[in-house]
Structure 1
Amino acid sequence: MVVGVVEGMSHIVYTLTSVGSTPEGYNQQRPKTKQNMKRVATVTGNHNRFNTISYLQTLYPGVDNNPNEAPLASFFLEKTVQILHDERNRFGNQKVLEFGGGPNLSSSLLLAQYVDSIRFCDYAQSNLAYVSDWIEQKSTVFDWTNYFESILTIAGTSKEKRIEWESRLRDALIRGGLSICDVNDPDCPILSGKSDDYDIIFSSFCLEAACLTIEIFNETIGKLVRLLKPGGLLLLVMVRNESFYYVDAENFFCLSLDETKVRKALQATGELVDIHIDSADTTVEDQKRNTMSDFDGEMIIHAFKTIK
């Protein structure tokens, strides 16, 4: 998560699993009026109100037992597994930058099976503190067992491998380290880092929620590509056409993006080849029951940096 917003496969899963588990203080019948939309556009920087643990406990009951309860979450996981497997001989296996990971470790679990080191960064210190607690196996940490086992099933791996996968993840996070990141800070240490440094750069449900303008989005894509090694993999997951979303009673701004805008930003770098964008639409039923946001689909994007 970057710039006062909640991220990391988070807000999309939330919208699909919130039926029957509405957070305290939230009015489920809240209309999507112009007045509400104006308020959403001004609500930024309220990451300090974000409770990581209650957020995780609200989000994951149900989906952790059966990912198919959230079809778009299943789409994201299946496509990520497929891309990493199919392209594994094309990218290096040393370093990943996970940009805006939030408190969610599901993507990290998959990435750790392919690389030695994961640099995990997020805007919210509370999320980084949570990840640190998970690495140290503190007793108060959120229990990912069921959800991780669901991911192993999607990856075609026995659930008995969970402990081994978790161990690889902890080792990768320790090697890479945890960092603060902020797309709106021109001096962000991560984005100002060494060029050609990472084999994979991964970001899920972050950039559309973090970038306040399309110009900042385009600039951030360029900065991320600069950090990628020649031949490296850029892997992004985004919601489509979302302008706001709720977490608890708080609403957050989201930059509305679609396939055309994303492809244009990638092509503008002049350094990416084999650009692929796969999309999944929300169903009419999903849209009717979703009172938490206004996205109409999900995109998973991957491309490779040119080898000079």
Structure 2
Amino acid sequence: MDCSSYKLYHVHDEFDSRAVLENYYSGNPDTPFKDDFMTFPMEKLHNVFSMGHVSGQLLIDISGGAQIHHLYTACEFFQEIIVMRPTEQCIMEIMRWHDDRTGAFCWGHTTAHVTDLEGRSDECEAKEMKLKSAITHVVKFDPEAESLTDLIGVPQADCIIIYGLMDMICKTQDDYTRTLEKILKLLKPGGHLMLFGAINASYYTVGGHRFSLFTYDENFVRKALVAEGMTVLQWEVNQRKAESPLIDYDSMLFVSACKSK
């Protein structure tokens, strides 16, 4: 299939946020994506935040899909979390979990992993409640808008997490750099960025439909961050462990960076 015909998740109605959770983030022990999409981001953020150098009042999570598992450690180090997503469907899925509504996706398997990392395996319920309490707003944004800074009336964030969003909404290098510039305006000078992405990806599959992933390499991401005044503090590439035709990528990237201007 010509990759130019792949759909975009924030544009086409065929995207099913719940199907993504079931296919890629399930608690089923046989899920092929456990290491790459769950363990890797949770452990990287646990390690960074536990060092004690990254904390503050506000964290903004501006990620792709309805995932929230990467925020469990963050709620121990930030008083307030604002979640931003580009689709109503993802927002509704997150709110179903946040408000304990019937049919909410169960993140218990990821809660258990984080509490094990923290040495508090008997506090899963408390961890779940703490994250829900820390999330004060779930906000829709338009990726095509000229600016994101007027969207929410809050100060710039102490930390921003971008998990998969750039891969899912960008089509070209110019898209990536423009989107990164807009997002980083939400980060105060001296603030930290936690960026996750998939190297050399082109598609992922949801309900039989192929959706586009922006293809890039490590060198491109590093140059884009430096051009936006970011100082890279940690750079880690985790080679793909998943065996599945649902998605293609070579490795998972994690970057911790500080805004120097």
* Alignment TM-score, normalising by the size of structure 2: 0.88
TM-superposed CA distance for 1:215, in Å, is 0.9
Runs of 4+ in 1 over 4 A off after TM superposition: 65-69, 190-196
Match of 1:277 among 215, 232, 235: 235
Which whole-Å deviations, capped at 9, do the CAs of 1:38-59 have from their partners, x for residues lacking one?
422xx23554223333432333
| SS of 1:48 mapped into structure 2 | coil
* Aligned-residue CA RMSD (Å): 2.5
Corresponding position of 1:150: 113
Corresponding position of 2:248: 294
Aligned residues of 2:42 and 2:73 also touching (Cα < 8 A):
no
Percent identity for Structure 1 against Structure 2? 20
TM-superposed CA distance for 1:245, in Å, is 1.5
Which whole-Å deviations, capped at 9, do the CAs of 1:27-83 have from their partners, x for residues lacking one?
xxxxxxxx343422xx235542233334323334445x5899733232332222111
Which whole-Å deviations, capped at 9, do the CAs of 1:232-267 have from their partners, x for residues lacking one?
110000000111111121111111122100000011
1:165 aligns with 2:127: yes
How many residue pairs get matched? 259
Mapped to 1, the partners of 2:30 and 2:46 lie a distance apart of 17
TM-superposed CA distance for 1:121, in Å, is 0.9
Aligned residues of 2:149 and 2:185 also touching (Cα < 8 A):
no
Aligned residues of 2:93 and 2:104 also touching (Cα < 8 A):
yes
Letter in 2 for 1:104: Q
Change in 2 beyond 3 A, CA 1:184/1:36:
same
Mapped to 2, the partners of 1:139 and 1:249 lie a distance apart of 26
Aligned residues of 2:24 and 2:31 also touching (Cα < 8 A):
no
Mapped to 2, the partners of 1:221 and 1:195 lie a distance apart of 19
* Alignment TM-score, normalising by the size of structure 1: 0.76
Letter in 1 for 2:205: Y
Unaligned runs of 5+ in 2: none
Change in 2 beyond 3 A, CA 1:148/1:291:
same
Mapped to 2, the partners of 1:46 and 1:281 lie a distance apart of 30
Corresponding position of 2:180: 221
Whichever structure has more strand as a proportion of its residues is 2
Corresponding position of 2:194: 235
Corresponding position of 1:82: 47
Change in 2 beyond 3 A, CA 1:173/1:72:
same
| SS of 1:159 mapped into structure 2 | coil
Whichever structure has more helix as a proportion of its residues is 1
Letter in 2 for 1:158: R
Change in 2 beyond 3 A, CA 1:260/1:225:
same
Match of 2:14 among 44, 49, 66: 49
Aligned residues of 2:199 and 2:216 also touching (Cα < 8 A):
yes
TM-superposed CA distance for 1:143, in Å, is 1.8
Letter in 1 for 2:95: S
Unaligned runs of 5+ in 1: 1-34
